[in-house]
Amino acid sequence: MEKKIDTRRLGVLLSVLAVACLLFALVLMNVQIVHGKDYSELATKGTTRTQVILAARGELVDRYGRPIVQNKVGYNVTLDKAYLTRGEENEIILRLLDLLEQADEEWIDKLPITTEAPFAFYEGQEDAIAKLKNFLEVGVYTGVEDVMSWLIERYGLEEYTPEEQRRLAGVRYQMERQGFSITNPYTLAEDVAISTVIQIKERSFELSGVMVVESTIREYVQGDIAPHLVGRIGPIYAEEYAELKDKGYAMNDIIGKGGIEEAFESELRGENGLRTITLNSNGEVVDSTVTQSPKPGNSIMLTIDIDIQRAAQQAMEEQILWLQENGEEGEGKEATAGAVVAIDVKTGEVLAMASYPTYNLDTFNEDYNDLLANEDNPLFNRALQGTYAPGSIFKPLVGVAGLEEGLISRYYTYTCNHVYTYYEDYQPTCLGWHPGFNVMDALRVSCNIFFYDLGRQLGIDPIVDYAEKFGLGQPTGIELPEAAGHISSPEFFDELDELWNPGDVLQASIGQGKSLFSPVQLATYTATLANSGVRMRTHLVKSIKTYSLDETVEDISPEVMADVELERSTVNTIREGMIRASGQNGYSGTSGAYFGDYPIPVASKTGTPETSAFPNGTYICYAPANDPQIAVAVVIENGYHGYWGASVAKAIFDEYFFGKTNDQLPVETDTWLP
């Protein structure tokens, strides 16, 4: 028998189905018609990323506001991962490198491996090689072939020629070290020509992810002027970022590397801006907005004078090259390097600081490998980091100590018979015989035995005390890292586990033994002699300015570090001895050939400190002797005769006193002594 259909239940079921269909239709209408646009954008929006916009870095100028380092608008070639076609990175990079090479453009490549097969590690790049091996997590003795194999495998370079593999590895290695990512574009080439920009844009269809970014480019207006002081800027590497990110740095920031660029990083860097980029679900960029504008950093006014700095650098180079060409074997011909520092006596401001050999900041990237391989190490700042035995330029300090302690007077005399016979078992000599010489003439001819005997009478403790007060073996206060140096003393011998003998005070008294000081310390000591025992803090920064130099953020005031409170008679006596050493006031002196007829009174002292190889040449002086304004210290490695440094000092004085049409020239007086 047929079952009757329950029409009531069927009606309910159909009603429920109708309601469900109606609700579904309403939802579809809401999604597709009412909010269709919103949901479409949401479906394709994907995610947002934030990119950093670098702030313009503060500039560097000399004491008169003349530019040393400034910014210019230029074009950088960057790789942006947000636009770089995945799986085609190597092909795109190789096309770009070919284009740059044809345009005669340089690109950044810090891989310490030669660029042509058979490959080899670059000489002199041990640190870079060690970082590479550590990065690849291979052993320290891994050879270049194995390192290249690791790089080829890491970056998928198997299908390329050896030369192409090396090129690509150099770029990919640098990209990875700098944390290349969607939020951190990589700068491949800087300051490219506009013609190169046009070529890249014309070939953009095959260079996806390659961007030309208008940026502020560091321009070294005086590229060869004071590079050791200026320093450089460079990218942040992955191993540095762990520490720097807590200081507000982003991976694509640049940072100071050495010199003022590093020491005043916090003032120079400015405040970066932010850009927000929006990507769809396919990883494609759909929007880009600047959400925070960058603020430029402060500028730094240095104490150096570009003209005096240039004179110092040129004179040092010319003197060393002249010695190499004309010097006697063992007496200067072997000179290879040196340093010179000039200081304003009254303020402690550094007017010039030069280290030779040097380099050019403008071509640093191109010259990088050659600079590292140079055995004379042009990247080393000898003026601040080099330490040298002072030799006889230490004698004025021993003279000061003897006068202040009452052991000698201006009229005290001592006879030098060429051999010092006070000790039976140790009898050092002098270069000559000097009967009845006072301290002034002992300085004039640089008599060893006069100062042997004076040092013996003083004892080592007062010598060390006066040396420290004059800034030797002490921090000068300069803003850059400096070598500490040390004074020959029983305490220092103890540190070396060596025995101090009574005769060691004799060598300490003439600047030998184990005393080692930096050129900036020697210049500070000289300025303190000139300033009657008042030692100023030596400094390189005159003021901090706003970016445009319109306003002063901070003025750096002169600061007294120590005051030895010398008797006026002491100052006059040592000054007269140093004037005589310059061959002035009717005397023949050790640097009379340079300053004997100089129109300005000069106080000076020469030194020939012995080393394990050839003796160095050291020289100190200040002028005008009657009213000191500028003090100079010169060191020439393997220079032998101290007076070779006088030519460098003379070039500085010529520029300081006669190279300008201002009021620097001293007022004429009747006497050269106060």
Distance CA 261, CA 269 (A): 9
**Hey, what are 101's tokens?**
């090479």
Q: What is the rounded average pLDDT of the residues 468-477?
A: 96
CATH of domain 48-302: 3.90.1310.10
Q: What is the mean pLDDT of the chain?
A: 88
What's residue 15's pLDDT?
67
Q: Is the pLDDT of residue 667 over 50?
A: no
Q: What is the rounded average pLDDT of the residues 280-308?
A: 83
Confidence of residue 428 (pLDDT cuts 50, 70, 90): confident
Q: What percentage of the chain carries pLDDT values higher than 70? A: 89
Q: Is the pLDDT of residue 285 over 90?
A: no
Q: Is the pLDDT of residue 98 over 60?
A: yes
What's residue 582's pLDDT?
95
Confidence of residue 431 (pLDDT cuts 50, 70, 90): confident
**Hey, what are 610's tokens?**
């012995």
Taking the whole predicted model, whether its pTM rises above 0.85 is answered as: no
Q: What is the rounded average pLDDT of the residues 38-48?
A: 56
Q: What is the rounded average pLDDT of the residues 653-660?
A: 90
What's residue 281's pLDDT?
64
Q: What is the rounded average pLDDT of the residues 113-125?
A: 90
Confidence of residue 664 (pLDDT cuts 50, 70, 90): very low
What's residue 290's pLDDT?
78
Closest by CA position to 651, among listed 359, 313, 351: 313
Q: What is the largest CA-CA distance in the chain?
A: 154
Instruction: Indicate the domain borders of the chain.
Output: 48-302, 306-367+381-658
Q: What is the rounded average pLDDT of the residues 405-425?
A: 90
**Residues 6 or more apart from 170 whose CB is under 8 A from it?**
109, 110, 111, 113, 115
What pLDDT digit, counting tens, does each position of 222-268 carry?
889 999 999 999 888 877 877 888 888 877 778 999 999 999 999 99
- Name all contacts of 272-275 with Cβ < 8 Å and 24+ positions apart: 272/52, 272/53, 272/54, 272/55, 273/52, 273/53, 273/55, 274/50, 274/51, 274/52, 274/53, 275/50, 275/51, 275/52, 275/53
What's residue 283's pLDDT?
57
What pLDDT digit, counting tens, does each position of 436-468 carry?
899 999 999 999 999 999 999 999 999 999 999
CB 345 within 8 A of CB 629: yes
Lowest mean pLDDT among 392-396, 491-495, 589-593: 589-593
The DSSP call for residue 657 is I
What's residue 1's pLDDT?
46
Lowest mean pLDDT among 9-13, 118-122, 169-173, 384-388: 9-13
Q: Is the pLDDT of residue 30 over 90?
A: no
CATH of domain 306-367+381-658: 3.40.710.10
Which is more confident, 12 or 443?
443
Lowest mean pLDDT among 70-84, 352-366, 529-543: 70-84
Distance CA 504, CA 489 (A): 8
What's residue 264's pLDDT?
96
Q: What is the rounded average pLDDT of the residues 21-28?
A: 67
Q: What percentage of the chain carries pLDDT values higher than 90? A: 65
Q: What is the rounded average pLDDT of the residues 303-324?
A: 96
Confidence of residue 674 (pLDDT cuts 50, 70, 90): very low
Distance CA 255, CA 245 (A): 12
**Residues 6 or more apart from 239 whose CB is under 8 A from it?**
131, 177
**Residues 6 or more apart from 520 whose CB is under 8 A from it?**
341, 350, 353, 383, 384, 476, 478, 482, 538, 633
Q: What is the rounded average pLDDT of the residues 327-349?
A: 94
What pLDDT digit, counting tens, does each position of 550-577 carry?
999 999 999 999 999 999 999 999 999 9
Confidence of residue 124 (pLDDT cuts 50, 70, 90): confident
- Whether 48-302 shares its CATH topology with 306-367+381-658 is answered no
Closest by CA position to 389, among listed 290, 512, 274, 292: 512
